[in-house]
Structure 1
Amino acid sequence: MPSAFRIVGQRELALLLLCLAAGVVFVALSPAYLSAGNVAAVLRNCVELMLVGLGITLLLAMGGIDVTVGLVLGLAAIAIGRLLLAGFDPWVAAAAGPLVGLAIGLITGAVVVFGRIPAIVATIGLLGVYRTAVFVALGGQWLSGLPPTLSAIFAGQIFGIVPVSYLVIGAIYAVAWAALRKTPFGLHLLAIGNNEERARLAGIAVKQVRLGVYAVSGALCGIAAIFYISTYRNVEMTVGSTLALDAIAAVVLGGTNILGGRASLLGTVFGVLLIRMLQNGFTLIGLPSLWQPVVTGALLIGALLIERGLGRDVLRRVTLRAA
């Protein structure tokens, strides 16, 4: 029987090949796809999704989910923007992002954990609450005209080559990888995703771990909000409207088990890249933006069907060997 690590590795390789294939197809349809400016745009558009997707990876691996992540990013971005307009130091304003995200993540986690409500039901319910909070915080209009102080720090490059955003993302993913593989917290997270009741009987503090993962996911949304503000310097009313769908699709495509127990950080990276490459390519060839969520949803369903097929294949091999 192939190991979980081997299956994940196969999924990552398949995603990399899909990214290359998508690039070839879109270059043939639109030569501008491979231009330096367009490649930079694709990579830039991956930044927030990489961070939010990491949080979704941890949640799914634990057996949870959160469909409010786009609005959490929006609320954190509004907090950063308000502080910038009030004249606060940019570092203080930036710090507000992950703090607000962490606080909202704790609220979401508390509703799920202590309310004993299924995560999908709880976060769908909170979706309306957070959407109203965004509307109220914005006062029914865009938050615009933000000073460029954060852009000078977080939208720049080191030595004129490496974007600051990707240095931060690389560091965060490295910490997440080490936490999953080397710390009790990561091992407990995966154990809960495999079988929550067994994890509880084994003495794992299930409630604390679950609450902690929601807090981490919220903080990652807050960090993503820093880069969002640094790039766009405004917050629109529809902020983060499709981010949850994109993040869940990218993570599931990457090989993280939607039912819990398995995570692939590299798979999430490739999943994010594929989603953004497809969205950019469809824009270049003139596909209306209305249809882009349809494509993302189709990818998510396809990934779930593949996952189901892999599970059946593994089960069949185990049964044959046992016989």
Structure 2
Amino acid sequence: MNLRSMPALSSREVTLAAACLAAILIFWLVSPHFGTVANLSTILRNSVELLLIGLGMTLLLAMGGIDVSVGVAMGLAAIAVGQVLAGNGPTAAAALAGPLTGAALGIITASVVVLGRIPPIVATLGLFGVFRTAIFLWLGGQWLSGLPTDLTALVSTHILGVPLTAWIIAAAYLATWFALRRTPFGPHLLAIGNSEAKARLSGISVRKVQFSAFVISGALCGLAATFYVATYRNVEMTIGSTLALEAIAAVVLGGTSILGGRCSLVGTVLGVLLIRILQNGLLLVGVPSLWQTVVTGGLLLAVLCLDAFSGRLSLPVPGRRPA
């Protein structure tokens, strides 16, 4: 349970930063369109939802949990935002509908996992199906499109020359960083990830910390939904179908242990950027978008194999009860 200080970068983070720069250079040389300001802005814009969801996933993986329903949870929150806009509701209500709906879904997930004592991967796989069906039923088999432009200020307004989106993302990042490194929540979260039994014996309120992590993750999914609707002004039937895989891949790429007990917010940011750079670059050089999922899954498998061989990933020995 070792919380690294913010300025010190690990070898994983330095490697990821170098990989991002190398990918940018390669695609810049291969495609004349990659290095344009417009395209680089598109990459950053497409990173917003994944980064917010990745912050929540970092918390979950750090405590030894996981949530594969985050993408469809964002979808449900996006529908809630869209419905408020379609009903000519107040702009503030529409903006808050996303985080509030996401937090409510986080409470549902936490109740099933924490109070129901169901393994997170099993519980969230089940909730993925429930939430996905809810999307189809709520949309009635049709896209929610042509929504009012009330929320476009979120993605078009600049403050001191910096997009409002960047300020909000920075605030979300700093709030997560503060919770991890300047409050008991962070050490308790990592203690649970290292050993839930030992954390409980040391007096940590395990259920409270776990419940809070799922609710925070849900709220971040909802905030991502607000940005999604503000940008695209529609909600499609397949919204969020690959976001869980991308979020897990980005977080694990960044150095957070999939078994818990170790995390890196800087690594998560770099992991998100690398995935979006690769997806954008491959699309520009003519690789079908279908292969984007293959690349993401391949990166996840590669880093897990690397961690296993380097000793950073210690899997339980069959027949031996974990401590």
Category of TM-score, reference length = shorter chain? over 0.9
Matches within 5 A, 1:1-323: 5=4, 9-152=10-153, 154-159=154-159, 161-311=161-311
What's the CA shift for 1:8?
A: 6.2
Q: Distance in 1 between matches of 2:203 and 2:165?
A: 39
Equivalent pair of 1:8/1:264 in contact (CA under 8 Å)? no
Task: Note the alpha carbon deviations across 1:210-260, whole angstroms, 9 max, x for none.
Answer: 011000000000000110001000000000010001100000000001100
Any conservation in 2 of the 1:8–1:255 contact (CA below 8 Å)? no
The alpha carbon displacement at 1:157 in A equals 3.3
Q: TM-score, normalised by structure 2?
A: 0.93
- The whole-number CA distance in structure 2 between the counterparts of 1:109 and 1:147 is 33
Distance of aligned partners of 1:234 and 1:308 in 2 relative to their CA distance in 1, 3 Å threshold: same
**Superposed CA offset, 1:258-277 (max 9, x none):** 10011100000000000000
- How far the C-alpha of 1:4 sits from its partner, in A, is 7.5
- Deviation string 1:64-118 (CA, Å, 9 cap, x unpaired) is 0000001111000000100111111111111111111001011011111121111
Aligned partners of 2:109 and 2:214 also within 8 Å: yes
8 Å contact from structure 2 (residues 3, 187) kept in 1? no
CA contact (8 A) 1:27 1:34 kept: yes
1:139-160 CA-to-partner distances (Å, cap 9, x unmatched) read 11000110001002x1123247
Cα deviation 1:123-166 (Å, max 9, x = unaligned): 111111000001011111000110001002x1123247312111
Any idea what SS the aligned residue of 2:256 has?
A: coil
Distance in structure 2 (CA, Å) of the matches to 1:141 and 1:313: 44
Letter in 1 for 2:193: G
The amino acid across from 2:47 in the alignment is: C
Distance (whole Å) between structure 1 residues aligned to residue 160 and residue 45 of structure 2: 15
Alpha-carbon distance between aligned partners in 1 of 2:196 and 2:312, rounded to the nearest angstrom = 22
1:290-315 deviations in Å (ceiling 9; x for gaps): 1110010000001111222332699x
CA contact (8 A) 1:194 1:260 kept: yes
Q: Which amino acid aligns with 1:186?
A: G
1:303/1:230 CA distance change after superposition, 3 Å? same
3-state SS of 1:33 partner: coil
Number of the residue aligned with 2:317: none
Structure 2 residue identity aligned to 1:234: N
Change (3 A) 1:312 1:265: closer
Q: When you count helix as a share of all residues, which structure comes out higher?
A: 1
Q: Distance in 1 between matches of 2:312 and 2:109?
A: 34
- Report the Cα distance in structure 2 between the residues aligned to 1:273 and 1:283, rounded to whole angstroms: 15
Change (3 A) 1:210 1:164: same
**Structure 1: distance between partners of 2:143 and 2:162:** 31
Identity of aligned residues (%): 59
Q: Gaps (5+ residues) in structure 1?
A: 315-323
C-alpha distance in 1 between matches for 2:178 and 2:215: 18
SS at match of 2:260: coil
Corresponding letter in the other structure for 2:33: A
In 2, Cα distance between the equivalents of 1:165 and 1:305?
35
Equivalent residue of 1:108, what SS? helix
Do the aligned partners of 2:3 and 2:181 also contact (CA within 8 Å) in 1? no
Q: What residue number does 1:321 align with?
A: none
Structure 1 partner of 2:320: none
Shift of 1:5: 4.1
Distance in 2, Cα, partners of 1:250 & 1:26: 20
Q: Is the 8 A contact 2:304 2:313 kept in 1?
A: no
The whole-number CA distance in structure 2 between the counterparts of 1:238 and 1:281 is 23
> How far 1:192 moved relative to its partner?
0.4
Alpha-carbon shift at residue 179 of structure 1 (Å): 0.9
> For the aligned residues, what is the CA RMSD?
1.6
